[in-house]
Amino acid sequence: MAHFLCVQCGAQFSETSEPPPSCPICDDVRQYVRWSGQEWTTFEELRKTHRNVFMEEGGLTGIGIEPAFAIGQRALVIPTPDGAVLWDCVSLVTEEAVERIRRLGGLKAIAISHPHYYSALAEWSEAFNRAPVYLHEDDRQWVMRPHESIRFWSGETLEIGPGLTLIRTGGHFEGSTVLHHAGGADGRGDLFVGDNLQVTQDRRFVSFMRSYPNYIPLNRTAVERIGAAVAPYPYERVFGAFAHRNIMQDGKAAVARSIERYLVAIRD
């Protein structure tokens, strides 16, 4: 019996004797099945061939995987006075990663932006005494490995610690979520967006898609709703889904400009 990992999206599945027949996350229009067909590995096999890598981003620790695996996102460790929060997740956790986070006070919670990054959430939780994993209720169907650490939340916002607010934006997925850290950037605020608001390559704008690999844009109503959801919160920096793909100053104005630019682009 094994918890199989989808090689394309990195999601870990419930324990079975044989690989699942398919990956619902990759069968969905927002993702895709590899050209070579559905492929599987396991957490144990991944540990033999890959390792966690670490990067400094604006005073935070990013955690990724090398060689590149699945979608290629990195997680971010956000220190707080009573333990760190892991924002988003990757499919591998090693002893080196555990030790680095322990030196930051341990992990008190995990929060994930959307199903493409659920990855090995259970393995990360178990490595830190079953730390709670916050997922929005609207995306419950996309959990491929149910686990007792998962805390499904509903509604539009949830406080998971002092100055730490999960905000449901919708858009990319129904339960797509961003995290606002009021204490980030020396009190000016940080916004952690995954790819619900995708930081563009020039790191001056964000953009919006229902499906990135299949080039399906979001409509005006969805983008305006995202803008309204984050509007009440001050933030200087915007942390995207991939290493160093961040807006490091004037982030709130950059998001406002991005929404205006996007709506012009899709108009008629």
Q: Mean of the pLDDT values across residues 107-118?
A: 98
Angle value at C-alpha 230, between 229 and 235, nearest 5 degrees: 170
Q: Is the dihedral of CA 7, 12, 17, 22 positive or negative?
A: negative
- Cβ atoms of residues 50 and 24 within 8 Å: no
Which residue bears the tokens 């998001």? Answer: 255
Task: Indicate whether 154 pLDDT > 80.
Answer: yes
The whole-number pLDDT of residue 72 equals 97
CATH number at residue 200: 3.60.15.10
CA distance 211 to 32: 10
- What share of the chain has pLDDT > 70, as a percent? 100
Stated pTM of the model: 0.97
Taking phi over 0 as left and psi of -120 to 50 as alpha, with beta for the rest, 16 belongs to beta
Residues 189-202 have pLDDT tens digits of 999 999 999 999 99
On the question of a cis peptide bond just before residue 79, with omega within 30 degrees of 0, the verdict is no
Number of domains in the chain: 1
CB 208 within 8 A of CB 255: no
* Contact of 25 with 116, CB cutoff 8 Å: yes
The range of the structural domain enclosing residue 61 comes to 4-266
| pLDDT tens, residue by residue, 31-49 | 999 999 999 999 999 999 9
With cut-offs at 50, 70 and 90, classify the pLDDT of residue 216. very high
